[in-house]
């Protein structure tokens, strides 16, 4: 099964995401409990209001970036109902963690807003990647349709070439 692409979201949006949504979030580590592989991330961007989310880092430990105060980018799936989720508090099950020290968070926040405006102008929701993935059967049908269209186009072009070859040109 293919891993779904992760939606680029802020910490508050990750905390409010649907169960099993795949997300990518930037955050600063405010606490790390190595005994149970839990990290709490806080939104480092200007204007964030103490937004926090818990992250299960079992799949990415040990990692040198897992220190209080470190700026990291996490890609993972939101777990609202399953093991690890605490009541109504969601938990992100990290599948990748990247140190982001040195990143200009003001510029990052600005770029994220510009990206969202662009996606909106193209009638794309910034969470479009959270929508249902095409099934393998649907993907196969789309592939078959594309191949048939290409074959028909090729056949039509070949017939046009053959008709041109049969034409007789009379010069006076």
Taking a C-beta distance cutoff of 8 angstroms, is the pair 40, 57 a contact?
no
Tens of each residue's pLDDT in the chain, 172 residues: 677 788 889 888 888 888 888 999 999 999 999 999 999 999 998 888 888 999 999 999 878 889 999 999 999 999 886 655 555 578 999 999 999 999 999 999 999 999 989 988 888 765 544 443 334 454 555 556 656 766 776 676 666 655 555 555 556 5
Q: How far apart are CA 7 and CA 9, in angstroms?
A: 6
Q: How far apart are CA 6 and CA 103, in angstroms?
A: 20
Q: Which residue range(s) make up the domain with 91?
A: 7-130
Nearest residue to 55 (alpha-carbon basis) of 35, 71, 31: 31
Whole-angstrom CA distances from 122 to 23, 24, 33, 118, 125 are 21, 21, 42, 6, 9
- For the chain, what is the domain count? 1
Q: Considering the domain boundaries, does residue 168 fall inside one?
A: no
Q: Considering the domain boundaries, does residue 44 fall inside one?
A: yes
Q: Considering the domain boundaries, does residue 137 fall inside one?
A: no
CA angle 75, 107, 91 (to 5 degrees): 25
Q: Considering the domain boundaries, does residue 55 fall inside one?
A: yes
Nearest residue to 19 (alpha-carbon basis) of 76, 97, 98: 76
Q: Considering the domain boundaries, does residue 157 fall inside one?
A: no
What CATH number is attached to the domain comprising 18? 2.40.50.140
Residue 147's pLDDT is 67
Which residue is it, tokens 């930037």? 26
Q: Residue 71 belongs to what H/E stretch?
A: strand 71-79
């Amino acid at each position: 099964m293919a891993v779904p692409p992760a939606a680029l979201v802020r910490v508050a949006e990750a905390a409010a995401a649907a169960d099993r949504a795949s997300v990518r979030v930037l955050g600063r580590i405010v606490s790390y409990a190595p005994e149970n592989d839990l990290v709490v991330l806080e939104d480092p961007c200007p204007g964030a209001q103490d937004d926090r989310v818990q992250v299960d880092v079992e799949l990415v430990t040990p990692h040198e970036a897992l220190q209080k105060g470190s700026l990291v980018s996490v890609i993972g799936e939101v777990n609202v109902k399953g093991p690890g989720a605490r009541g109504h508090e969601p938990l992100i099950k990290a599948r990748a963690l990247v140190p982001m020290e040195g990143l200009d968070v003001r510029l990052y926040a600005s770029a994220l807003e510009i990206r969202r405006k662009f996606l909106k102008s193209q009638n794309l929701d910034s969470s479009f990647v959270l929508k249902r993935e095409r099934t393998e059967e649907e993907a196969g049908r789309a592939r078959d349709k594309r191949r048939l269209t290409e074959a028909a186009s090729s056949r039509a072009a070949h017939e046009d070439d053959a008709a041109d070859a049969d034409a007789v040109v009379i010069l006076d």
